[in-house]
Amino acid sequence: MSVPRPRIGLTATFCTHPTYEMRMAALGQRYISAIRAAGGLPFLIPGDTPPEEAPALLAALDGLLLTGGGDIAPQRYGGEPHPAVYGLRPSRDALEIALVREAITRGKPFLGICRGVQVLNVALGGTLYEDLPSQYPHALRHRSDDKTEREMLAHGVRLAAGSRLARLFGTEHLEVNSLHHQGVRDVASGLQATAWADDGLVEALEVPGHPFGLAVQWHPEWLYQKYPQHAAIFRALVEAAQEA
C-alpha cells in the first residue's frame, strides 16, 4: 500500500466568469500544480468560508497554503487608506487570519506566498506598508504588471543563517521574482524575519518552534518549473505535512 499523499488546503478567491457572467471560486492554477508536483493532494478552500470553520477545515487537512491576492484591509493592522490599495475582500482577510492562527495553535504545517506573508504578519499583530513605491525609501522595483515578468528574477534576497529557509534551499542567497506593491513594515512579535531584499525589505517570516510555519513575499509557483531550485519550498511543505 502506498503512503497517503498529504492533503494541502489552498485558499481561493472569487472571480466572475467572462462568458457566463456568474461568480466562480477561483485560484491560480500554478499553485495547484506546484503542490501536486511536490507530492501533495491539493484541496481548494473557498474564499467565503466562515472563519468559524477554520478549526474543522484544518482538522481535515495536513497542511495549508496561503495564496497570493489583493491587499488586506488597512484597518486590520491600524493602517491608513491609500489610493494604491486594491482588491480588498474583508471576508477573505477574516478567513485567512483565522486559518493561520489555527495552523499556529495546532502546529499544522503552512506556507504563505506573497499576500500570505502579509496575512501571517497581520494575524499576529504586525503591520504593512500600504504601498512600497510611495512609502519605502530607496525601494527596489518590487512590482511589475507585465505578465512576462512573473517568471523573471527581479532581485536578490539574503536568507538568515540557520533559518528554515536557508536550510531548505541550502544557501543564504536566492534570486526571486517580485510581484508585490505592499510589504512587511513592523514584524509581529512571535515571528522572525528570515529573508531580506537588497533594499532591506523583509521578504520572509517564520514561526519559531513551529513544525513548519513559513511565508515568503515572492512567488515560487511561477519559478519552480523554470528554476527547479524553487520547487524545494513546496516539497518541504509537503514533507512537513506528511510528518505532521
Which one of 142, 180, 181, 219 is the catalytic residue? 219
DSSP secondary structure letter of residue 240: H
CA quadruple 181, 87, 195, 229: dihedral positive or negative? Answer: negative
- Report in angstroms how near the CB of residue 203 gets to Mn ion at its nearest: 6
**Catalytic (active site) residue 230:** no
Kindly tell me which residue out of 108, 142, 164, 181 binds Mn ion, with binding defined by CB under 5 A: 142
Q: Which stretch binds Mn ion (CB under 5 A): 15-23, 47-55, 60-68, 176-184?
A: 176-184
Q: Which three cell numbers stand for residue 231?
A: 520547487
* Binds Mn ion (CB under 5 A): choice among 67, 178, 182, 194: 178
Name the residue whose CB lies closest to Mn ion: 178
Minimal distance in Å, beta carbon 118 to Mn ion? 12
Measured from the CB of residue 157, what is the shortest distance to Mn ion in angstroms?
A: 8
- The residues in 37-96 that bind Mn ion, with binding defined as CB under 5 A, are none
What is the torsional sign of CA 71, 239, 193, 78? positive
Which one is catalytic: 114, 130, 142, 155?
114
Strands 183-184 and 128-129: antiparallel
- C-beta closer to Mn ion: residue 58 or 216: 216
Q: At what angle do helices 90-106 and 115-123 cross, to 10 degrees?
A: 70
* Minimum CB–partner distance for residue 132 and Mn ion (Å): 8
In the complex, what is the shortest distance from the CB of residue 3 to Mn ion, in angstroms, rounded to a whole number? 36
Rg (CA), the chain: 17
Residue-by-residue DSSP string for 18-40: TTT--EEEE--HHHHHHHHHTT-
Which C-beta is closer to Mn ion: that of 118 or that of 178? 178
Of how many residues is the chain composed?
244
- Maximum pairwise Cα distance, the chain: 56
Q: Indicate whether 219 belongs to the interface with Mn ion (CB under 5 A).
A: no
Residue ranges of E strands in 123-240: 128-129, 155-159, 173-176, 183-184, 192-197, 202-206, 213-216
Report how far Cα 91 is from the mean position of its chain's Cα atoms: 17
Residue 239 annotated in active site:
no
The nearer residue to Mn ion, 142 or 230, going by C-beta atoms, is: 142
Told to judge if 15 belongs to the known catalytic residues of this protein, a careful annotator would answer no
Catalytic residue among 181, 221, 230, 239: 221
CA distance 76 to 120: 12
Q: Which is nearer to Mn ion, 49 or 178 (CB)?
A: 178
Which are the catalytic amino acids?
114, 219, 221
Which residues form the interface with Mn ion (CB under 5 A)?
142, 178
